[in-house]
Structure 1
Amino acid sequence: MLTPTPTCLPATGAAVAVAVAGESSVSATHARLPPSTPPVPSRVHLPQLPAPPALSSRNHPASPTPAASKSTAATDSDLDLSDESLASMSPREQTALLSRQRHWRHARDLFDRLRALPGYAPSAVHYGVVLRHLARARRWAELRRVWVRMAREDALPPSNPAYAALADALAKAGQAWESLLLLRHMRARGVAPDEVSMNTFVRILKDEGRYSDAVALFNDWCNGRFEVGFIDLDYSALDPSGPMQFLLAEMWHGNMYDADASSIQGVPRIAKLVLTYNTMINLYGKAGRLKDAMDMFMGMPAYGVMPDTCTFNTMISIFGSHGNVNEAEALFASMVVRGTGPDIKTFNVMMTVFASKGNVEGVLKHYRHIGKMGLSADTVSYRIVLRVLCERKMIYEAEDVIEGIMRSGTCVPEQSLPIVMKMYIDQGLLDKANAFFERHCRGEELSSKTFAAIMDAFAERGLWEEAEHIFYSHRGVKGRDIVEYNVMVKTYGAAKQYDRVPTLLEYMNESGISPDECTFNSLIQMFATGGFPQRAKKLLGKMRDAGFIPKCETYAAVITTYSRNYLVSEAIDLYNEMKASGVEPNVVVYGALIDTFAETGQLEEALHYSNLMEESGIAPNQIILTSLIKAYSKANCWREAQDLYSRMKNMDGGPDIIASNSMLNLYANLGMVTKVKEIFDCLRRNNQADDVSYTSMIFLYKNMGLLSESVRIAHDLQNSGLLSDCASYNAVMACFAAKGKLRECAELVQQMQEHNISPDASTFGMIFSVMKKSQISPEEVSQLESAYNDNRSSTRQAVVAFLFSIAGMHAAALNICEKYMSPILTINQCACNVAFNVYASCGEVDKAFSLFTQMHELGLKPDTATYIHLTTCYGKYGMLGGLRSVNGFLGYQNNEVSLHKTVVSCRETGSNILAVQPVKK
């Protein structure tokens, strides 16, 4: 089953209050993943298996079987039996009657009636049955009364059945340690374990993970020894109010400790029950001792004990869980050959083995054989096959299984619901996911954990609205648990939907659910990651007020967000508060503080916290050393930085790219060209150089006047595919601008547009610089630069269009003009002039003349740049009269301007026409 965000014990008190305005309504709009077409798997025809006989359905509650009804009826009528009927029963029949009672009070009352019968002989077996009933019901006071009566009134010493029943019930009630102390009581009483009680204690030790103690206990028992020294009897650790206090008190007083121990030694025993062998085989398997498990399995026939179905199931599970699929298959085949009939658990074990190896065909092969063997698939079978099909995105086969489950009258196992939903969601089949949810999850008594897992599946794909819809969907009787609220907090945080959190917390408070530790941690992490340090700090205080002690990771999240926002004093205060609370900082906390001081150039402070970290026993990792290298670099302490860099070379993975770039920049700033080239060449050889590495080299050569080398590196960077941001593009453009390479600059700007990277002020500065170095009218460049500095509308697009036009990239220039010229009502004089230029350069003369007319209509007075472009248009049409008019108009406006005659080839007329450009006298 999918596991959502883990939760801790719920807190008491009021719910979290966050001072943020939230939305009152909750949207259930369904966003959609980009459509994806899942691969079409090969169809596997799965058989429709018979329904499991005892499997209840959430939709259709299972009716009790006739046998169950008969048993229930018999139990209800037991208390109505007369004393004569009870007295006529044999002791074995009386034991069976006591055993089948379903309530501890019925068993106790029936036992009291049996004891009151004339001629009744006290039976240790009867006491054992009653003690088991009382221990399972955790009626410790009643249990003590019965135990004391057994020892004092009936003078029966505790027997193996009583010890075994009590130990088993205690272990199942979570009192495993006290159940093991019964072994000491048995030894002190001189009661040697029989095979049943020995098997019980071995199983308890196995379940507790004490494999070596379990093996030693069993081997000693086989060799005639009963040693219990491995059980620590720490009186100070015993609970005075514990359920077995009355029993263990006898040992504490020392009046019976090991009193009869000698009488139970030296009697070798041989296990005769298959249950004991099954327990020991399982124990060896859990301990990883496969050879011992196989030896015990192979040795069973020598002692007259034949392996049963449970034995084979255990052996198959052991070898399969250790990856020995071939051995598991061989055991399965041997089982069939020996005539030991497999049960449904056998097939479930085999399917689990193949599922762990990702062998879908192996799972499906055994799934098909369930029906062929006359067995019915159970919930476990469905869970295994659905998991493997859904994980492999075998949608059609999974749907076949689901339809088969529904036709059999049962329903999809609850643990499988999130897995099926996740399969649909991951494949982008949201309609199918919604339909599956409506059919199988609506109105059901599903656990809050299941809903949380479904929400988490949506959240992992960024579908917060769908997760929200599941959260607010109608439920059955069961309400929302804290785990669902925690998943929604995490979902909103991942989707940056911070404004929806207050509504969620208000709903949580109205539902009477208090936040737990995980709620606080999720909220703090969300606001810290989202860049809200003060809100994260406020929640940290509320977490303490609610009675929770924040862990180091929680403090680290807030300190890190303080550091990222350069709130240095707040970060230090929280660090001191953390220390005062007894919480030791980890490497993340120290790393955040050190890096903050490194970024701000505070070398002494960075070194101070580095020393504190090492004094606390934390060795600096690559991240810490990189931050210190940055700090040394800002202070130009190249020897100290170099020592740290050499130290990093001896660590696993070596220096990271940030450390290498820091050293590269440090050497470059100091003009240490040889060192710079050494690091850069090493980075290129190892394919580690990034855009920062190349940029550092470009500026190093440029600042040294080695423009050719700078341009060469710029071309390498351009061809490397590492250009990713405006800074790296600017570095390359600076080289081209310095060399006056207009076309290369224009192509770089075009690449920036294609990658949705907006030019910044440095980019435009270099554009104007390269324009001034080209054969372009100074009036036009000056007008563009002035309009850019005044931040007039459409000027940025106009500058780029003009750059493309003068670089001969006419189609790109025309495309930009078409965009910013609509609507024309908002266009300024400068942008119109650029459009005039682009239209004229592209041969769009009609558009140019139309624009000239529109300028008059908009009240935009033509200036010198306008008439220059108008002259170009007249020249292309060979209109000499228009040229003379422009010349006269220019002279009328400014008598310092005259026309410089230039011969222009005109394809329309095939003759030489005079074009004009204004020049100073």
Structure 2
Amino acid sequence: MPPLPHRPPAAGAGAAPTAGARSGPFPPHPPAASRIRLPRLPPPPSLSSSSTPASSFSSPATSALHPSDEVLSAMSPREHTSLLSRQSCWRRARDLFDRLRALPGYAPNPVHDAVLLRHLARARRWAELRCAWLEMALPPSNPAYAALADALAKAGLARGALLLLRHMRAQGVAPDEVSMNTFVRVLKDQGRYADALALFRNWCDGRFEVDFLDLDGIAIDSDCPMQFLLADICDGNFASGALAIDEGPQKPKLVATYNTLIDLYGKAGRLKDALDMFLDMPAHGVMPDKYTFNTLINIFGFAGNTAQAEALFASMLVRGINPDTKTYNVMMTVFASIGDLDGVLKYYRQIGKAGLHVDAVSSRIVLQVLCERKMVREAEDVIEGILNSGGSVNEQSLPIVMKMYVDLGFLDEAITFFERHCRGKGVSSKNFAAMIDAFAVKGLWEEAEHIFLSRGGDGNNKDIIEYNVMVKAYGRAKQYDRVSSLLESMEGSGVSPDECTYNSLIQMFSVGGFPQRAKKLLGKMKDAGFEPKCETYSAVIRSYSRHCLVPEAIGLLNEMKSSGVEPNIIVYGLLIDMFAETGNVKEALHYNNLLEESGISPNQVVLTSLIKAYSKYNCWKEALNLYSRMNNMDGGPDIIASNAMLNLYANLGMVTEAKEIFDILRRNSNADGVSYTTMVYLYKGMGLLSESVKVACELHKSGLLSDCASYNAVIACYVAKDNLRDCAELVQEMILANIPPDASTFGMIFSLLQNSHVSAEEVLQLESAYNDGKSSAKQAIVAFLFSIAGMHAAALEICEQLLKPERTIDACAYNVCFKVYASCGKVEKAFSLFMQMNDLGLKPDTVTCIHLATCYGKPGVSEGQRTNALFEYRTDELIPSHNALVAYIRSGKNNVAVQLVKK
């Protein structure tokens, strides 16, 4: 697949674009006075030496992390714990732990064991963790269980974390508040809110009862890193039932526990309990902290109670608890969730005023709301502020900004933004695919391909999600041939199509009218081990039915059933409609019977297809029975079914029955252009011209003229009444609506011209040009119609288009232009055209002479008299007269030329 040529940046983000940079008729940016002024991001705080990687080996703080044995011996156990916790590498933590144990007089410390276990679990060093567990000098205690459970849960091993509860019970270790809080958080994060609350209540009652958690049913895989705990449980003295806690009933004393429970109540939708828990804290000597307020604000805000969220924020300030950046982010998120831009910007501005620094989350939230509202310059201000502060645009914001540009048609800006902020930045496949998709949904396959191909230079391999989005881009743009190159690229990169890939390809080729290619892909999908669903089969069957490939559709239905996939109402409906279109009523009814035998009731779509089938054979009674059945269904017959019945009655000339349905449709405001058009032709065909014209006028005023057929129906009524002006105006309306007149329209125009005192020679010449397929014939006919209808401005506009230098027109079109200019009194222009015809070797014919007579006829002489006078010229006299006329005009004797024409 050839790469796209490089597109140079048109303008940087925030810069004024060059001319032509924006694509499409989009409005320019608003003037500066109307823009929302967002604060510039303050510079980030200076980093201390202890947190700067470049200086970590030489700073005193770094050397303090690796003290000598002499310094270690002088430290307290609490200082040892702090030192262990601050280690950045699990190996250093393990080495330090070994050094501590080797110190003379070192007393085993369960907290030290817990810290080491946390380091190993976070680094997923399972073999080392097992050794450390087995080598503990003291039996496992609450610090070890809490640290290990927390680390396992954060590593995505919640089942292993809960297994520790079984181990604690087997070892007779009752949870303290820290470990209880840890296990409650694990259950909460899994969505097991009731179990988490039950565990907390049992703890408050002084019971260690966990049988309700069904921990014995937790299945641990043989290769699970915590499998060794099962051996401990089996070897231990397993005590069933409850283990009493000596302290008896108790209340939590740690703010972290209250925070966990408040969040738990909030996620469970129990906001009153969350608020009660918050209000209960001071009574037990526990004061709320920032995390408490952040949690409460978050749960009330997302519950839609923004007033309570703002009240909590104000209460936080009153209590002297200074909000941090996360607090402001929570408030911004709350207002963003309800689409309140002013609320988001209010708290965004307050971050800097509070002496805090905007972080990645703050920028992501404000960019999200600005981009959703297409506030380009304000979003660019935020991006500029991020860059000025030494940061970069958050990865999750990249596709959001790209989508804003693409939706507005600012394609050059989108590409420039990508080149500056995305290329070579190690963007994840998910976000990369989202950027490709921003172009794909608009059918902009070249731009999507540009983004897709640029991935090769990132040093990252493309993921299947990116290929799938690219398939979507090609499908939307109908670039089917490029899909083959894409699939070859996949194979060359070692990426195998997944179920989504096959479904997208099958859908694409089915909609694109390539049922055989879709069927072939269906086979490949099954060969790859995927089981196509009913929707996948129905896509191919739909393509077969559209092409009336009956044997193929039935064969695929049988294949579908043999694969164990039962057809749904959509599949049966497609088959019934296919047979209805081909007029095979027997087969349509057969599959309707199969549908009902499978326990599925036919819907309006299926019954409408059956009505169409009966219409093919004018079986109006059977169709009426189905239509009456639809009247008893929810919503009644739809417009398609009603129009099918109208068409059936119209074919049979059943005016009364058709009028009854049509009146119901009009009364319920359901009649569409097809309904009106059917009735217009029905009345006209039955000789009820006044009724036909009445409905046609109603159709014209209704705004339902949307296609050529509906326009033709109204034009036919006006033609029947010789209403020239109305016909011409309708034709003009069609052209302005980008609905080109068809053969039926031009046939009615010719009929109208023949009855409008236009000479037979003129109409015959127009008809001949149309039938011969002359390139300018259609425009010439319309200009002629406008001219004789008195719509001179519209006629002149068409003539100006016909006479452009780059166009070549025939004698018929010249004659029409001559007539239009002459009719408008533009005599000099008419003479100019006459000379131009002569220079091109187009000798004047009878129609030319008619137009000359029309232009220069004697006052008071009728058109017919002038025409008849010209017809009396003999053919051999026409050419000498023409030569004399040309000579007079070239010599500037126009008056003589006029007299010659008048003779």
CA distance in structure 1 between the aligned counterparts of 2:612 and 2:868, rounded to whole angstroms: 64
Post-superposition offset of 1:385: 2.2
**CA 1:331–1:754 in structure 2 vs 1: closer, same or farther (change >3 Å)?**
closer
- C-alpha offsets along residues 870-908 of structure 1, whole Å, 9 cap, x if unaligned? 655664489999987862516999xxxxxxxxxxxxxx9
Residue of structure 2 in register with 1:3 after alignment: none
- Which letter maps to 1:37? P
Residue of structure 2 in register with 1:50 after alignment: 42
Post-superposition offset of 1:639: 4.6
- Which letter maps to 1:277? Y
**CA 1:525–1:36 in structure 2 vs 1: closer, same or farther (change >3 Å)?**
farther
1:36 equivalenced with 2:22 (yes/no)? no
CA distance in structure 2 between the aligned counterparts of 1:656 and 1:181, rounded to whole angstroms: 59
What SS class does the counterpart of residue 213 from structure 2 fall into? coil
CA distance in structure 2 between the aligned counterparts of 1:549 and 1:528, rounded to whole angstroms: 18
- Which letter maps to 1:556? S
Pairing of 1:875-886 with structure 2 (within 5 A): 875-876=857-858
Unpaired runs of at least 5, structure 1: 1-21, 894-907, 917-921
**CA 1:65–1:638 in structure 2 vs 1: closer, same or farther (change >3 Å)?**
farther
- Which letter maps to 1:129? V
Of 175, 184, 187, 2:166 maps to: 184
**CA 1:71–1:491 in structure 2 vs 1: closer, same or farther (change >3 Å)?**
farther
Post-superposition offset of 1:750: 3.0
Residue of structure 2 in register with 1:696 after alignment: 678
CA distance in structure 1 between the aligned counterparts of 2:85 and 2:485, rounded to whole angstroms: 55
- C-alpha offsets along residues 97-155 of structure 1, whole Å, 9 cap, x if unaligned? 443444334444444455455655444333333333333333333333443444xxx5x
- C-alpha offsets along residues 509-534 of structure 1, whole Å, 9 cap, x if unaligned? 54444443333333333333333333
**CA 1:527–1:302 in structure 2 vs 1: closer, same or farther (change >3 Å)?**
same
Question: Structure 1 stretch 162-171 or stretch 830-839: which is displaced more?
Answer: 830-839
- C-alpha offsets along residues 558-582 of structure 1, whole Å, 9 cap, x if unaligned? 3323322333332333333333333
Contact in 2 for aligned 1:562/1:568 (Cα 8 Å)? yes
CA distance in structure 1 between the aligned counterparts of 2:444 and 2:870, rounded to whole angstroms: 66
CA distance in structure 1 between the aligned counterparts of 2:804 and 2:296, rounded to whole angstroms: 79
1:280 equivalenced with 2:261 (yes/no)? yes
Contact in 2 for aligned 1:55/1:378 (Cα 8 Å)? no
Of 393, 396, 417, 1:415 maps to: 396
Unpaired runs of at least 5, structure 2: 9-20, 879-894
CA distance in structure 2 between the aligned counterparts of 1:852 and 1:33, rounded to whole angstroms: 42
Question: Structure 1 stretch 459-468 or stretch 64-73: which is displaced more?
Answer: 64-73
Residue of structure 1 in register with 2:130 after alignment: 144
Question: Structure 1 stretch 323-332 or stretch 681-690: which is displaced more?
Answer: 681-690
- Which letter maps to 1:47? P
What SS class does the counterpart of residue 722 from structure 1 fall into? coil
Residue of structure 2 in register with 1:900 after alignment: none
CA distance in structure 2 between the aligned counterparts of 1:868 and 1:384, rounded to whole angstroms: 75
**CA 1:323–1:70 in structure 2 vs 1: closer, same or farther (change >3 Å)?**
farther
CA distance in structure 1 between the aligned counterparts of 2:370 and 2:22, rounded to whole angstroms: 26
Question: Structure 1 stretch 286-295 or stretch 90-99: which is displaced more?
Answer: 90-99
Contact in 1 for aligned 2:367/2:379 (Cα 8 Å)? yes
CA distance in structure 1 between the aligned counterparts of 2:395 and 2:277, rounded to whole angstroms: 38
- C-alpha offsets along residues 544-598 of structure 1, whole Å, 9 cap, x if unaligned? 3444333333333333233223333323333333333333444443333333333
What SS class does the counterpart of residue 230 from structure 1 fall into? helix
CA distance in structure 1 between the aligned counterparts of 2:867 and 2:656, rounded to whole angstroms: 64
- C-alpha offsets along residues 433-465 of structure 1, whole Å, 9 cap, x if unaligned? 455444434553433444433333344445444
Of 282, 292, 316, 2:297 maps to: 316
Post-superposition offset of 1:339: 1.7
CA distance in structure 1 between the aligned counterparts of 2:453 and 2:179, rounded to whole angstroms: 52
Contact in 1 for aligned 2:208/2:243 (Cα 8 Å)? no
Pairing of 1:161-560 with structure 2 (within 5 A): 161-233=143-215, 237-249=219-231, 251=233, 256-258=237-239, 261-264=242-245, 267-430=248-411, 432-473=413-454, 475-560=457-542
Residue of structure 2 in register with 1:6 after alignment: none
- Which letter maps to 2:296? M
Post-superposition offset of 1:326: 1.2
**CA 1:431–1:134 in structure 2 vs 1: closer, same or farther (change >3 Å)?**
closer
Contact in 1 for aligned 2:84/2:97 (Cα 8 Å)? yes
CA distance in structure 2 between the aligned counterparts of 1:89 and 1:808, rounded to whole angstroms: 107
Post-superposition offset of 1:694: 0.5
1:159 equivalenced with 2:141 (yes/no)? yes
Contact in 1 for aligned 2:853/2:902 (Cα 8 Å)? yes
1:124 equivalenced with 2:110 (yes/no)? yes
**CA 1:606–1:884 in structure 2 vs 1: closer, same or farther (change >3 Å)?**
closer
Contact in 1 for aligned 2:57/2:63 (Cα 8 Å)? no
Contact in 1 for aligned 2:849/2:870 (Cα 8 Å)? no
Question: Structure 1 stretch 267-276 or stretch 549-558: which is displaced more?
Answer: 549-558
CA distance in structure 2 between the aligned counterparts of 1:443 and 1:638, rounded to whole angstroms: 68
Contact in 1 for aligned 2:42/2:357 (Cα 8 Å)? yes
**CA 1:757–1:174 in structure 2 vs 1: closer, same or farther (change >3 Å)?**
same
CA distance in structure 2 between the aligned counterparts of 1:397 and 1:726, rounded to whole angstroms: 46
Question: Structure 1 stretch 817-826 or stretch 422-431: which is displaced more?
Answer: 817-826
Contact in 2 for aligned 1:23/1:499 (Cα 8 Å)? no
Question: Structure 1 stretch 421-430 or stretch 486-495: which is displaced more?
Answer: 421-430
Contact in 1 for aligned 2:207/2:243 (Cα 8 Å)? no
Pairing of 1:35-114 with structure 2 (within 5 A): 35-40=26-31, 42-53=34-45, 72-75=62-65, 77=66, 81-82=68-69, 89-114=75-100
**CA 1:115–1:550 in structure 2 vs 1: closer, same or farther (change >3 Å)?**
same
CA distance in structure 2 between the aligned counterparts of 1:633 and 1:418, rounded to whole angstroms: 52
- C-alpha offsets along residues 32-90 of structure 1, whole Å, 9 cap, x if unaligned? 2223224457444433443344899xxxx965687996554433x25xx43x6655654
CA distance in structure 2 between the aligned counterparts of 1:751 and 1:113, rounded to whole angstroms: 92
- Which letter maps to 2:261? M
**CA 1:551–1:265 in structure 2 vs 1: closer, same or farther (change >3 Å)?**
farther
What SS class does the counterpart of residue 33 from structure 1 fall into? coil
CA distance in structure 1 between the aligned counterparts of 2:800 and 2:766, rounded to whole angstroms: 18
CA distance in structure 2 between the aligned counterparts of 1:142 and 1:478, rounded to whole angstroms: 32
Post-superposition offset of 1:277: 0.7
CA distance in structure 2 between the aligned counterparts of 1:94 and 1:828, rounded to whole angstroms: 101
CA distance in structure 2 between the aligned counterparts of 1:449 and 1:259, rounded to whole angstroms: 48
| TM-score normalised by length of structure 2 | 0.85
**CA 1:112–1:564 in structure 2 vs 1: closer, same or farther (change >3 Å)?**
same
1:606 equivalenced with 2:588 (yes/no)? yes
CA distance in structure 2 between the aligned counterparts of 1:328 and 1:599, rounded to whole angstroms: 61
1:763 equivalenced with 2:745 (yes/no)? yes
Post-superposition offset of 1:199: 0.6
- Using CA pairs below 8 Å that are at least 6 residues apart, which structure has the higher relative contact order? 1
CA distance in structure 1 between the aligned counterparts of 2:201 and 2:460, rounded to whole angstroms: 50
RMSD after superposition: 4.0
- C-alpha offsets along residues 228-280 of structure 1, whole Å, 9 cap, x if unaligned? 22323566944233223332245568x74425845558932321111111100
- Which letter maps to 1:217? L
What SS class does the counterpart of residue 393 from structure 2 fall into? coil
- Which letter maps to 1:132? R
**CA 1:850–1:170 in structure 2 vs 1: closer, same or farther (change >3 Å)?**
closer
Post-superposition offset of 1:827: 5.6
CA distance in structure 1 between the aligned counterparts of 2:482 and 2:94, rounded to whole angstroms: 57
- Which letter maps to 1:530? G
CA distance in structure 2 between the aligned counterparts of 1:887 and 1:878, rounded to whole angstroms: 20
CA distance in structure 1 between the aligned counterparts of 2:240 and 2:507, rounded to whole angstroms: 61
CA distance in structure 1 between the aligned counterparts of 2:171 and 2:208, rounded to whole angstroms: 12
Contact in 2 for aligned 1:50/1:408 (Cα 8 Å)? yes
Post-superposition offset of 1:382: 1.7
Identity level (%):
68
Post-superposition offset of 1:730: 1.7
